[in-house]
């Protein structure tokens, strides 16, 4: 039997953040894959094809901007929507950096619980419509 739940890849170097995001998304019946950084995410993406990727901006191995560009530059993963999470204030400059990295959307860590589920739903709807 095929898994019909949308699959969300969560990339964050902080264990607690991954657990929090997984908890939020699991309530909405999403299948959640976890990666503890950019390298782990790239290894996972070699054999998994999630419906949406949620990634932290600040990570020690590969930062979110670079990882997002790598995802968007790869023909195998370019169509996967990316939502970036930032603890930084979403200033115009920060929003521009995230957009230039190729992200489809962004959410502040402060607004995570309500904002993330809404943005994941929007990206899934857009993906299904295209």
Q: Where are the alpha helices (DSSP H) in the chain?
A: 15-27, 38-45, 64-73, 92-100, 112-129
Domain residues for 64?
7-125
CATH number of the domain enclosing 70: 3.40.50.2300
pTM of the predicted model as reported, rounded to 2 decimal places: 0.88
Give me the mean pLDDT over the 107-130 stretch: 83
Pairing of strands 105-108, 7-11: unpaired
**Average pLDDT estimate for 98-110:** 92
Spatial contact of 61 and 37, defined as CB atoms under 8 Å apart: yes
Interatomic CA distance for residues 41 and 95, integer angstroms: 23
Predicted local confidence at residue 45, as pLDDT = 98
pLDDT band for 1, please (50, 70, 90 cuts): very low
Residue 88, domain member (yes or no): yes
Q: Which strand (E) or helix (H) includes residue 34? A: strand 31-35
Share of the chain above pLDDT 90, in %: 68
């Amino acid at each position: 039997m095929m898994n019909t739940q949308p699959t969300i890849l969560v990339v964050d170097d902080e264990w607690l953040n991954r657990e929090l995001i997984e908890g939020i998304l699991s309530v909405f019946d999403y299948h959640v894959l976890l990666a503890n950084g950019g390298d782990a995410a790239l290894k996972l993406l070699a054999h998994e094809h999630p419906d949406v990727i949620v990634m932290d901006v600040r990570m020690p191995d590969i930062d979110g901007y670079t990882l997002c560009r790598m995802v968007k530059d790869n023909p195998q993963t370019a169509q996967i929507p990316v939502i970036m999470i930032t603890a930084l204030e979403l200033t115009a400059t920060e929003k521009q950096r995230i957009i230039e990295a190729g992200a489809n959307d962004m959410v502040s860590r402060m607004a995570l619980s309500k904002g993330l589920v809404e943005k994941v739903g929007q990206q899934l709807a857009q993906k299904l419509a295209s």
